[in-house]
Structures are given as structure tokens and as C-alpha cells.
């Protein structure tokens, strides 16, 4: 089954896409053709879009789905008249919230991604800079300034998780790659030991790690399955001995791993 999906907004369309994609993820057996339509902010553009909806309906033999975040009532009305299954995402929530709060909504577009709290924006920018400057253990002297330190073998997902924590939560995240030197010492660097309560280990299934490393260094000893298995085994043994909580990144998204890190920090009273 094939269905065309339009993500429509009078602004960037980020909210419509995010919410719409979350809903579509529950329907694995449908082949969705996604069309992104930001800045539909005039009636003329809305009418042109309804024509595209009609063409998609004829081509697919089924009306397209439309996920919309449209605050202009006139433009929204035009879209609803199109040959489509229309879901206006804001109206499902804004009006009930307005009634509960007793406050009229602003109906200004783009506010969900606007810089409404400059202090938080500044904190996130500083956190991103910190994560980039303290990637791969290049500045262990800075670990004492980190909100969280991730350790794990090379290519286990440390860097993207650090950046996600910085971008979305404003956390100063640093990471350290476990190397042969660490395994021989059977200990983490002293700078990490000093912030033990902020440290989390990341692990990954050996075959998955092998595929990831192969993309970076094809045919190398570093990417071999045997090396991957040995690195992971040594990391598990050391982190287990030191009592470091370990999170498996094999089949979990960055969002899921980050949520577990946040939960661990809160449980330890660090965040």
C-alpha cells in the first residue's frame, strides 16, 4: 500500500514533521511518500497545494494524508477542502489548553522553535562547544567541569550522544575512548575517577561494531570481528569491576540512550 503524506506549515514545518513522523512510525506496512511543504503562508500557495493533493490522490488511488500546523484559519480552511485526510495538529491541543488556562493563544507562527529563553539558548550553545572541545578525551583536565562523561570503545556512540545531550538539554558532555592503555592499567584515567558519579559506559554488540568500524577502516585489524569482540569484553570487565553503569547502544536510539543517562544523573542527584 502506498500513500502520499504532506507535512504542511506556514513556518518551518519542523513541528508538523516531528509529530507526523511519530504517528506514521506505527504503520510499518504502508509505503509512505513524504512531501515537505513549509511556508504555506498565503491562500494562493494553499490552493496550489490542494491541486497537488488532488494529483497525488489520482496517482495513488487513495487520498493523501496531510499533517498540518496552520494557525491562519483562512489558509487552514482551504487545506481542509482539499482531496485529503487532513489532521490539523495544533487545533487538537491549542483550544483545549486555552480553555483550561483561560488565556487566548497568541497564534504566532514559529514560536515553538523561537529563542524564547535567551539564557537557555546560551547554555545550549556553550554545551555544544564544550562537547566538541572535549570529544575523544582530548582534554581530560576538563572532565571536572562536565555534567556527564561517557566512556566506551571506539565507535560505540559516544560522540553523537554527547552532542544530543548538549543540543537538547544543555548538558556539558565529554567522552573518553577506552584504549589498550586503559585495559593494561585496568583502570580509567584519574580525571574520570574524580567525577565517578557522572560517568556512564556505552557498549555495543560486536557484529554491529564490526560493521561500523568497517565503514571507517575497511579490512583493518581495528575493524576485525575478533578485535571488536576483545575490545568489548575488556571494556565490560573493567567497567563492571569499577561499578560504572553501562548502556547498550546496539538497538537503542540516541534519544533512548540520552533518556537513560538523564535518569541516571537524576537518580544520583547530579541533574
What is the spatial distance between Cα 78 and Cα 95, in angstroms, rounded to a whole number?
20
The yes-or-no verdict on residue 166 having pLDDT over 60 is yes
Band of pLDDT at residue 58, cut at 50, 70 and 90: very high
Distance of CA 229 to the CA centre of its chain: 28
> For cell 578485535, what's the residue?
227
Which whole number is the average pLDDT over 221-247? 96
Which whole number is the average pLDDT over 29-45? 93
Which whole number is the average pLDDT over 32-37? 94
- % residues pLDDT > 90 (the chain): 70
- % residues pLDDT > 70 (the chain): 94
How far is residue 158 from each of residues 136, 161, 239, 261, measured CA to CA in Å? 8, 5, 15, 12
Band of pLDDT at residue 114, cut at 50, 70 and 90: very low
The yes-or-no verdict on residue 80 having pLDDT over 50 is yes
The yes-or-no verdict on residue 26 having pLDDT over 70 is yes
- Give Cβ neighbours of residue 62 (< 8 Å, ≥ 6 apart): 1, 2, 3
The yes-or-no verdict on residue 4 having pLDDT over 70 is yes
Asked if 170 and 127 count as a contact pair (C-beta separation under 8 A), the reply is: yes
At residue 266, the pLDDT reads 86
Supply 115's cell numbers. Answer: 529563542
At residue 269, the pLDDT reads 73
What is the spatial distance between Cα 9 and Cα 110, in angstroms, rounded to a whole number?
9
pTM for this prediction:
0.64
Q: Mean pLDDT across the chain, nearest whole number?
A: 90
Amino acid at each position: 500500500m502506498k500513500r502520499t503524506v504532506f507535512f504542511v506549515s506556514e513556518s518551518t514545518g519542523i513541528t508538523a514533521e516531528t509529530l507526523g513522523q511519530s504517528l506514521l512510525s506505527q504503520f510499518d506496512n504502508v509505503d509512505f511518500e513524504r512531501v515537505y511543504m513549509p511556508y504555506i503562508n498565503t491562500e494562493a500557495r494553499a490552493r496550489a497545494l490542494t491541486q497537488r493533493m488532488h494529483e497525488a490522490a489520482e496517482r495513488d488511488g487513495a487520498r493523501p494524508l496531510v499533517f498540518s500546523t496552520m494557525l491562519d484559519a483562512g489558509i487552514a480552511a482551504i487545506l481542509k477542502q482539499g482531496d485529503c485526510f487532513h489532521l490539523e495538529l495544533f487545533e487538537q491541543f491549542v483550544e483545549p489548553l486555552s480553555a483550561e488556562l483561560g488565556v487566548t493563544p497568541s497564534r504566532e507562527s514559529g514560536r515553538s522553535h523561537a529563542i524564547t529563553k535567551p539564557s537557555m539558548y546560551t547554555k545550549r550553545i556553550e554545551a555544544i562547544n564544550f562537547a566538541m572541545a572535549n570529544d575523544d578525551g582530548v582534554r581530560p583536565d576538563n572532565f571536572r567541569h562536565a555534567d556527564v562523561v561517557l566512556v566506551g570503545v571506539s565507535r560505540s556512540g559516544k560522540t553523537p550522544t554527547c552532542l544530543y545531550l548538549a543540543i537538547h538539554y544543555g548538558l556539558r558532555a565529554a567522552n573518553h575512548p577506552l584504549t589498550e592503555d586503559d585495559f593494561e592499567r585496568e583502570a580509567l584515567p584519574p580525571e574520570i575517577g574524580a567525577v565517578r558519579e557522572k560517568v556512564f559506559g556505552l557498549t555495543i554488540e560486536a557484529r554491529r561494531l564490526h560493521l561500523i568500524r568497517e565503514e571507517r577502516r575497511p579490512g583493518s585489524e581495528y575493524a576485525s570481528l575478533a578485535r571488536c569482540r576483545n575490545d568489548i569484553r575488556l571494556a565490560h570487565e573493567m567497567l563492571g569491576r569499577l561499578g560504572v553503569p553501562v548502556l547498550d547502544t546496539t538497538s537503542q536510539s540516541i534519544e533512548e540512550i540520552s533518556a537513560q543517562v538523564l535518569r541516571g544523573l537524576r537518580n544520583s542527584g547530579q541533574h
